[in-house]
Structure 1
Amino acid sequence: MQPFKHAAAIIEKLEKHGFEAYFVGGSVRDFIIGKPISDVDIATSALPNEVMRIFPHHVPIGLEHGTVLVLYEGISYEVTTFRMEAEYDDFRRPSHVSFVRSLEEDLKRRDFTMNAIAMTANGDMIDSFGGQEAIHRKQIQTVGNPDERFREDALRMMRGVRFVSTLGFHLSDETKQAIQEHAGLLVHIAIERIAVEFEKLLLGEGVRQALLLLAETDLYAYLPYFEKKGEQIASAAMYNWDVIQSSEEAWALLLRAVKPENADALLKNWKLSNKKVHTITSILHCLVQLEKSEWNDMLLYQSGEEISIMTERVVSALQGERPSIEHVHSLYKKLPIHSRKDLAVTGTDLLQWTGKQGGPWLAAALGQLEREVVCGRLANSKESVKEWLKQCNLL
């Protein structure tokens, strides 16, 4: 209750000014489940301007949706006015939002019953749609008609499957059937929004069940580059996902099953950051090399410790074994050098010793020198390098 205890002061202050206020959303759901609570959100009958008047320390982050970020004792809380939503014209956003004074009207617009529970500052539950029973049964059930909920916001279908993964719950029969019938609506959703849900799905404890659901409900067919990969996505459910610790590793593991022609293009199409794309493709490159041989000094050096350890986890997930992280770490630590900066000589040294002008030969010489040192064929000292240069007829 500690996160709620701190935020209770906001609810109490709103109530003192004559308004209703409750804890809502994922924090209430996770509290009932017994999961750690992160963000605490508050819903109130107070209008945004009334909230801002009561709490001078605030940030108006979404007034059109009724949301004010209230700053209280170093912690920020989203306080949102009860609202109703008009028709959804594009399967993503309501055409109009109306502020109301009714908690039930506000809860009625939410996606799943487990997310439509409100809690008072004293811990009393307001559960008009059977959310607690659904949580008890570990069931994901839409608030009201699932066809209507998914036509309002098609991303809710991905959220439902994501909750299967992150909570270990199951879809109700009618919710699952509605996803199968309306999967095509996902084409109306921005890939950035889908990617957020998809990455959470890949990192959940129930990822195997979620991947099978993506295939079974045909949602996969509306994910970029996965249109014809239903069997491969289902096969990925057989991997040992328990050892995966990052979204980059998760993507690499999935793509080993999907086998895209161009992983770089696929990942960029998903609008992932350049850094994340580079990390994932580096892991995939390392996996290809490990199919030809075991870990060796040059592969460890070129990949770097972080990529090497990530790759080891993916390998263990593919093979159903425990990752040998300490082994990889030990091999990497024993390398003579860990970057070109660790070499005893520089390009400037080579230019001075040889008396040559810079050019392609210099990059080639440094590259060969690097390989010789990494593989233990040449000591990392200026004397050894000078002798090596003589043998290569460069001195």
Structure 2
Amino acid sequence: MYLWKQVDPLMQHQGEKVLKALLDSGHSAYFVGGCVRDELMDRPVHDMDIATSAKPEMVMDLFERTIPTGLQHGTVTVLMGDYPFEVTTFRKESHYEDHRHPSAVEFVSGIVEDLQRRDFTMNAIARSLDGELTDPFLGLEDIRKGIIRCVGKAEERFNEDALRMMRAIRFASVFGFRPVKSLWRALTNGRDKLSFVAMERIRAELERLVLGSHPLRGLELLRRSRLLHYAKIPFKEPGELTREQHQRLQALNHLPAEPQGLRWSMLLQGLAVSGSEAEALMKEWTFSNQVAETTAEIMRFDASWREIRSSLEVEETERLRRSWVSQQLLYGQTISGLWLERESQWLAYTGGEGREARLRLHEEEMQWHLAVPVHDLKELAIRGGDVLAALDLKGGPWLGELMKQVLLLVAVGDAPNEKKALLEYVKAVVRQNES
């Protein structure tokens, strides 16, 4: 008997109520898939899927709150308390027309036949209400060995659904598992079928890999397999890595997964993608605008600040500080803060001449970042209307430029953020321009 240890007790209670209701109505029912796998691997369980002999309409009749999530595939979402549970009728799938979707689904009566259609042995384990496992393909043994193995012939599983190739590499990366030789051979032989899979599905797997616990392992498997070369929009494949690129990729494992821009910006720079290329490329890969823009902005910030640093001597501390403040105003407090967080990890993997000086400057960068008192015109003690009234002038483009000068003046600490002092400054600027 296997007890739940990684499941929220309330979710477990509600899930067991669903299972018991199905059993009490004369149907077979089991917990299946990721929840069983993660429990056996001592990983947190986030949701609980159920397989049953009950047909979808029977499930909907049995429970008060249901959502017909995918009736054509036998799936009904049952709402029990505050938790949703996907309840799917035992089924087998016929010929796959496009290496992705089955042309038809046939409901079956037994759990073993249902498990037979699944992708990998570790995902083809069912758990009964009392904790007994149904494991016809020795998934538990494979979990203990740390290997990824397909249910049945790998060629057939990948031919049915080409996305399973990406899932195999993602699982190997996140879990630190090893693909067996038969799986790897089928993957490399059938990788051209990935062109049938929608880019957003590939991107979702790639995201989970890069944001997982062992991204370098997954990226190396992708490089060796050349799988992403066959995506509709090929992922950039690295050539011979420079020392700096290698160090950037090494830093990936130590960056937090959120916000995503931290890892993606480091990865893309490690692949020699520029900030100007990154945003368009990520949007082509169907990343959200927010992730694509944040990633590109971190990369642009990095390129710009490197250029500024290279033009100034380390000893020119005040000029560097002022340049930093201007840069922080240009890109914003959030982007500069993310860059600093990323740079801290990056510096842990750099070496060579000048490293100590760079670490000292990084300490100063963090202090400058925290010391900037204003970042937006709305934070100033004066408004455009105050300036027009004080100068008795009409508005125009000049006013916006003048307000930006005032913002920089306060941000670098050359003037207090006080109305009287700032109005004196703008009067002096206008008098100087008139003379």
Normalising by structure 2, what TM-score?
Answer: 0.85
Q: Which of 232, 257, 269 in structure 1 is aligned with 2:270?
A: 257
SS at match of 1:147: helix
Q: Is the 8 A contact 1:205 1:242 kept in 2?
A: no
Give the whole-Å Cα distance in 2 for the aligned partners of 1:382 and 1:162.
57
1:308-360, Cα deviation, whole Å (9 max, x unpaired): 23222322343335999998765433212132211111111122222222222
SS at match of 1:84: strand
Give the whole-Å Cα distance in 2 for the aligned partners of 1:388 and 1:50.
77
Cα distance change on mapping 1:17 and 1:317 into 2, 3 Å? same
Aligned to 2:353: none
Aligned to 1:290: 305
1:281-314, Cα deviation, whole Å (9 max, x unpaired): 1111121133233772233333334322322232
Query: Which is further off, 286-295 or 25-34?
Result: 286-295
Give the whole-Å Cα distance in 1 for the aligned partners of 2:151 and 2:172.
17
Cα distance change on mapping 1:328 and 1:17 into 2, 3 Å? farther
Q: Which of 44, 49, 52 in structure 2 is aligned with 1:41?
A: 49
* RMSD of aligned alpha carbons: 2.4
Q: Which of 189, 208, 228 in structure 2 is aligned with 1:220?
A: 228
- Give the Å deviation of 1:14: 0.7
Aligned to 2:238: 229
Aligned to 1:381: 418
- Give the Å deviation of 1:143: 0.7
Aligned to 1:9: 17
Q: Does residue 243 of the first structure (1) align with residue 255 of the second (2)?
A: yes
Give the whole-Å Cα distance in 1 for the aligned partners of 2:187 and 2:297.
35
Aligned length: 395
Structure 1 unaligned runs (5+)? none
Q: Is the 8 A contact 2:155 2:190 kept in 1?
A: yes
Give the whole-Å Cα distance in 1 for the aligned partners of 2:271 and 2:93.
39
Give the whole-Å Cα distance in 2 for the aligned partners of 1:200 and 1:243.
14
Q: Does residue 126 of the first structure (1) align with residue 134 of the second (2)?
A: yes
Q: Is the 8 A contact 1:220 1:230 kept in 2?
A: no
1:356-383, Cα deviation, whole Å (9 max, x unpaired): 2222211111111111211112222222
- Give the Å deviation of 1:222: 2.7
Give the whole-Å Cα distance in 1 for the aligned partners of 2:205 and 2:37.
18
Give the whole-Å Cα distance in 1 for the aligned partners of 2:373 and 2:81.
51
Cα distance change on mapping 1:242 and 1:268 into 2, 3 Å? same
Aligned to 1:304: 332
Aligned to 1:393: 430
Aligned to 1:197: 205
Q: Letter of the aligned partner of 2:46 in structure 1?
A: S
Same amino acid, percent of matched pairs: 36
Aligned to 1:270: 285
- 1:10-29 counterparts in 2 under 5 A? 10-29=18-37
Q: Is the 8 A contact 1:91 1:152 kept in 2?
A: yes
Give the whole-Å Cα distance in 1 for the aligned partners of 2:67 and 2:121.
30
Q: Is the 8 A contact 1:91 1:185 kept in 2?
A: yes
Give the whole-Å Cα distance in 2 for the aligned partners of 1:281 and 1:265.
9
Q: Is the 8 A contact 1:215 1:231 kept in 2?
A: no
Aligned to 1:335: 372
- Give the Å deviation of 1:228: 4.4
Give the whole-Å Cα distance in 1 for the aligned partners of 2:136 and 2:349.
47
Q: Letter of the aligned partner of 2:268 in structure 1?
A: L
Q: Does residue 31 of the first structure (1) align with residue 43 of the second (2)?
A: no
- Give the Å deviation of 1:227: 4.7
Cα distance change on mapping 1:36 and 1:129 into 2, 3 Å? same
Structure 2 unaligned runs (5+)? 310-319, 351-358
Cα distance change on mapping 1:232 and 1:62 into 2, 3 Å? farther
SS at match of 2:77: strand
Give the whole-Å Cα distance in 1 for the aligned partners of 2:365 and 2:26.
62
Give the whole-Å Cα distance in 1 for the aligned partners of 2:240 and 2:218.
14
Cα distance change on mapping 1:316 and 1:148 into 2, 3 Å? farther
Give the whole-Å Cα distance in 2 for the aligned partners of 1:320 and 1:163.
28
Q: Is the 8 A contact 1:260 1:266 kept in 2?
A: no
Query: Which is further off, 369-378 or 125-134?
Result: 369-378
SS at match of 2:342: helix
Q: Letter of the aligned partner of 1:117 in structure 2?
A: I
Give the whole-Å Cα distance in 2 for the aligned partners of 1:248 and 1:186.
26
Q: Letter of the aligned partner of 1:313 in structure 2?
A: E
Q: Is the 8 A contact 1:308 1:328 kept in 2?
A: no
Q: Does residue 78 of the first structure (1) align with residue 72 of the second (2)?
A: no
Aligned to 2:387: 350
Cα distance change on mapping 1:327 and 1:173 into 2, 3 Å? farther
Cα distance change on mapping 1:340 and 1:391 into 2, 3 Å? same
- Give the Å deviation of 1:237: 4.2
Give the whole-Å Cα distance in 1 for the aligned partners of 2:220 and 2:424.
61
